[in-house]
Structure 1
Amino acid sequence: MINFFGLLFVALLLLPNLLFAFTHKDGFENLYHNKPVEICEQIGRFGCFLFAWIEIPYLSRGELFAGAKTVYLITGGVLVALYLLGWAIFWRESSLRKALVLSILPSLLFLESGILTQNFPLIALSLLFAPCHILISAKNATASKKT
């Protein structure tokens, strides 16, 4: 099954990243080199992007409780809005707070989406993605201050 709201959330997350990448050619330089963490982060990232909108029967059980879809939509919408606001606020800044805001919010989005929709692949992949993404973002932010 396709979760069109999950697809919308992913598209909205990607929008400022793509815009930033096109306007800041050196903006995503990776200064933290830890291959296992980078591989886990990439597996988690692309898995979350995929399973946020694809729900496989028997691996996704639907709403966790009555009204979970409403909570999912509201919470997801708020997290995406905060993420977009974070991009607007921190657009020209390179800082640890930018790195943390822009890595924690999508991590929370994928985790809450997986839990509320009982999408077990999304839960597992978000648990892989979140610590790796936050670590890489934080390490890159602190390393860029040293160079």
Structure 2
Amino acid sequence: MTIRIINKSKNSLPAYETAHAAGMDLRADVKETVELKPMERKLIPTGLFIELPEGFEAQIRPRSGLAFKHGIGIVNSPGTIDADYRGEIKVLLINFSTEVFEINPGDRIAQMVIARHEKVNWEEVEILNDTTRGEGGFGHTAVK
């Protein structure tokens, strides 16, 4: 699949880092180091603008290494870029750690997964088909 992209940053285009990777890294398009204090959230620009085909979305997800090593996440995870959005892709980072985290120009801050999605039509009914799980919700299968 080919997707049209405008790159207004000095960073390379998002790319798959390994042969079987699902996500492409997004990089910070900041002019100088940005400090993210504990429990602070900031919208970080990428300098990227994309034109997705109808029926697709771009999911913006946290990078596992940043989450594990530094407590950095994405507030609205996964963020969704719709096919009709033409603005700059920005990432809403949050610092869950107790230490200040620095975001430098070109740092890999998130990953983007391109995914197909379906549109649905609702069929309003009075009863749903039974399943083994039924109404079992949060924690219904226990820990062990």
TM-score (norm 2): 0.26
Greater gyration radius: 2
TM-score by length of 1: 0.26
Q: Which has the higher helix share?
A: 1
